[in-house]
Structure 1
Amino acid sequence: MIVLYFIIAVVMTAMVIGLYQKNTNIICKSKKRLDGKTAIVTGGTSGMGLRIATDFADRGARVIVACPFVDEGTRGRKFIVDKTGNEEVIFKLLDLGSTASTRKFAADIIKTEKRLDILINNAGVGAVEEFTTKDGLNFTMQVNYFGQFLLTLLLLPLLRKTGSSLEPSRIVNTSSVLHKIGSVNFEKINCSNYWYPIQLYANSKLCLVLFTRELAKKLQNLNRNNVVVNAVDPGAVGTTIFSSSTKYFGSFLTFLFAVLFKTPWEGAQTAIHVALDKKAGLVSGELFKNCRLSQAKQTAYDEELAHKLWEESKKVIGLYEEEYEQCFQVLK
Structure 2
Amino acid sequence: MFAILSVVVVTVVLAVMVGLYQKNTNAMCKSKKRLDGKTAIITGGTTGMGLRIAIDFADRGAKVIIACPYPDEGASAIKTIFDKTGSEKVIYKYLDLASLESVRKFAADIVNTEDRLDILVNNAGVGIVGDFQTKDGLSFIMQVNYFGHFLLTLLLLPLLKKTGRPLEPSRIVNTSSILHNIGKIDLENLNKTNYWYKVQIYANSKLALVLFARELTCRLRSSKGTHVVINSVDPGAVGTNIFYSVGSIGGVIIKFLSYNLFKTPWQGAQTAIHVVMDKKAGEVSGEFFKNCKRTTAHWNAYNEKVAKQLWAESVRLVKMSDEEFNNCFLDF
* Residue 229 of structure 2: aligned partner: 228
* Residue 197 of structure 1: aligned partner: 198
5+ residue gaps, structure 2, are: none
Aligned residue identity for 1:91: Y
Q: How many angstroms does 1:7 deviate by? A: 3.9
CA distance in 1, matches of 2:15, 2:124: 26
Q: Which runs of at least 4 in structure 1 moved beyond 6 Å after TM superposition?
A: none
CA distance in 2, matches of 1:160, 1:49: 24
* Residue 78 of structure 1: aligned partner: 79
Q: Flag the 1:277–1:322 CA change in 2: closer, same or farther, 3 A.
A: same
CA distance in 2, matches of 1:132, 1:289: 32
1:290-311 deviations in whole A, cap 9, x for unaligned? 0000110001100000000000
1:209-253 deviations in whole A, cap 9, x for unaligned? 100100111111101120000000000000111122222322222
1:148-168 deviations in whole A, cap 9, x for unaligned? 000000000000000011110
Give the TM-score normalised by structure 1: 0.97
SS in structure 2 opposite 1:318? Answer: coil
Aligned residue identity for 1:106: A
Which aligned pairs between 1:80-95 and structure 2 lie closer than 5 A?
80-95=81-96
CA distance in 1, matches of 2:182, 2:20: 24
Q: How many angstroms does 1:198 deviate by? A: 1.0
SS in structure 1 opposite 2:173? Answer: strand
* Residue 158 of structure 1: aligned partner: 159
Which aligned pairs between 1:1-332 and structure 2 lie closer than 5 A?
1=1, 3-331=4-332
1:45-96 deviations in whole A, cap 9, x for unaligned? 0000000000000000000000111111110111111111010100001010
CA distance in 1, matches of 2:8, 2:159: 52
Q: Flag the 1:6–1:240 CA change in 2: closer, same or farther, 3 A.
A: same
Give the TM-score normalised by structure 2: 0.97
CA distance in 1, matches of 2:171, 2:289: 14
CA distance in 2, matches of 1:65, 1:225: 26
Q: Flag the 1:7–1:195 CA change in 2: closer, same or farther, 3 A.
A: farther
CA distance in 2, matches of 1:320, 1:143: 21
CA distance in 1, matches of 2:75, 2:5: 46
Q: How many angstroms does 1:18 deviate by? A: 1.5
SS in structure 2 opposite 1:194? Answer: coil
Identity %: 63
Aligned length: 331
Q: Flag the 1:5–1:317 CA change in 2: closer, same or farther, 3 A.
A: farther
5+ residue gaps, structure 1, are: none
CA distance in 2, matches of 1:242, 1:330: 41
Q: Flag the 1:184–1:87 CA change in 2: closer, same or farther, 3 A.
A: same
CA distance in 2, matches of 1:99, 1:10: 45
SS in structure 2 opposite 1:228? Answer: strand
CA distance in 1, matches of 2:85, 2:142: 34
CA distance in 2, matches of 1:252, 1:16: 18
Q: How many angstroms does 1:16 deviate by? A: 2.1
CA distance in 1, matches of 2:249, 2:270: 28
Q: How many angstroms does 1:326 deviate by? A: 0.5
SS in structure 2 opposite 1:232? Answer: strand
Aligned residue identity for 2:174: N
CA distance in 2, matches of 1:34, 1:291: 19
Q: How many angstroms does 1:8 deviate by? A: 3.7
